[in-house]
């Protein structure tokens, strides 16, 4: 059973989320509801939830502060941050905190379902040796930069060929493809939730040329960034 905590001081939003989750998922259960930031921290400690929905504007401790505290204690805890603002700087702040998704309020059912499905799909238990864990952490911590395998190999004092083979054997995909997909996932979060320019998104995810970013995005998603944004705005 996947345990969920809902943290929002707007009762209508909480009820809407509960209905969506209860109607769509048989293996997901809302185990706690918090109205204040400090309550969330207590519930996380006592209930050990798998997924936490957090409103950015919680009283006492705001959502960003709560996310930071939770992620500092357990970086693998799954958090979905909710906000009424589509401001790029706020989304960037959320992504920097490594939240798993950023949803605009009022919350739409299809986006809640998509977020939960994405998290459930990536939360399977599997064993990754320490070398690959180091690589994955490096990628997450440098997602806004130009990530090169040779830099990581040099840092780890390993050969590029060894690390490349080990990564593919463990992750089932090559290093460059994995990094590209992670960058595109970050871009998709921004495209879905803000009107940030393509140029700003390009530089944020560590690319230098908007045209190159658009080409890579289309190769991965089968549509341009603007087509992707339009698709989600029309839902």
Go through 96-128 and write b for each residue having 16 or more CB atoms within 10 A of its CB, e for each that does not: ebbbbbbbbbebeeebbebbbeebbeeeeeeee
What is the total count of domains within the chain? 2
Three-state SS letters, the chain? CEEEEEECCCHHHHHHHHHHHHHHCCCEEEEEEECCHHHHHHHHHHHCCCEEEEECCCCCCCHHHHHHHHHHHCCCCEEEEEECCCCHHHHHHHHHCCCCEEEECCCCHHHHHHHHHHHHHHCCCCCCCHHHHHHHHHHHHCCCCCCCHHHHHHHHCCCHHHHHHHHHHHHCCCHHHHHHHHHHHHHHHHHHHCCCCHHHHHHHCCCCCHHHHHHHHHHHHCCCHHHHHHHHHCC
Q: Are 90 and 56 in contact (CB under 8 A)?
A: yes
pLDDT in tens, 43-60: 999 999 999 999 999 998
By percentage, how much of the chain surpasses pLDDT 90? 61
Q: Are residues 177 and 85 in the same domain?
A: no
Say yes or no to pLDDT of 41 above 80. yes
Q: Are residues 157 and 228 in the same domain?
A: yes
Say yes or no to pLDDT of 124 above 50. no
Q: Are residues 84 and 148 in the same domain?
A: no
User: What is the reported pLDDT for 127?
Assistant: 45
Structural domain that includes position 84: 2-122
User: What is the reported pLDDT for 235?
Assistant: 61
Q: Are residues 190 and 87 in the same domain?
A: no
Name the pTM for this structure: 0.61
Q: Are 175 and 149 in contact (CB under 8 A)?
A: yes
Specify the CATH number for the domain of residue 170.
1.10.10.60
Residue 234: Cβ within 10 Å count = 6
Q: Are residues 80 and 178 in the same domain?
A: no
Specify the CATH number for the domain of residue 45.
3.40.50.2300
Q: Are 63 and 81 in contact (CB under 8 A)?
A: yes
Torsion, Cα 166 171 173 179, to 10 degrees, reads: -100
d(CA 67, CA 172): 31
**The two structure tokens encoding residue 129:** 């040796």
Q: Are residues 85 and 57 in the same domain?
A: yes
Question: Band of the pLDDT at 118, cuts 50, 70, 90?
Answer: confident
Question: Band of the pLDDT at 122, cuts 50, 70, 90?
Answer: low
On average, the pLDDT of the chain sits at: 90
Q: Are residues 6 and 103 in the same domain?
A: yes
pLDDT in tens, 58-108: 998 999 999 999 999 998 899 999 998 877 777 778 888 889 899 988 888
pLDDT in tens, 179-210: 999 999 999 999 988 889 999 999 999 999 99
Q: Which position has the higher pLDDT, 2 or 124? A: 2
User: What is the reported pLDDT for 94?
Assistant: 81
């Amino acid at each position: 059973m996947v345990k969920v905590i809902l943290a929002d001081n707007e009762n209508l939003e909480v009820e809407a989320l509960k209905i969506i989750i209860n109607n769509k998922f048989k293996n997901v259960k809302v185990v706690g509801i918090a109205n204040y930031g400090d309550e969330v921290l207590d519930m996380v400690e006592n209930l050990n939830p798998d997924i936490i929905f957090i409103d950015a504007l919680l009283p006492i401790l705001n959502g960003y502060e709560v996310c930071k505290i939770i992620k500092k204690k357990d970086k693998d805890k799954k958090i979905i941050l909710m906000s009424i603002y589509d401001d790029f700087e706020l989304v960037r702040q959320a992504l920097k905190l490594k939240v798993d998704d950023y949803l605009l309020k009022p919350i739409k059912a299809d986006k809640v379902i998509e977020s939960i499905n994405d998290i459930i799909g990536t939360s399977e238990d599997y064993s990754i040796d320490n070398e690959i864990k180091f690589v994955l952490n490096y990628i997450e911590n440098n997602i806004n930069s130009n990530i090169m395998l040779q830099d990581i190999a040099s840092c780890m004092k390993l050969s590029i060929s060894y690390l490349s083979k080990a990564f593919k054997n463990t992750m089932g995909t090559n290093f460059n493809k994995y990094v590209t997909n992670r960058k595109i996932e970050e871009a998709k979060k921004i495209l879905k939730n803000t009107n940030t320019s393509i140029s700003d998104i390009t530089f944020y995810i560590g690319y230098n040329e908007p045209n190159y970013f658009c080409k890579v995005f289309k190769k991965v998603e089968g549509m341009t960034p603007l087509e992707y944004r339009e698709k989600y705005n029309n839902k």
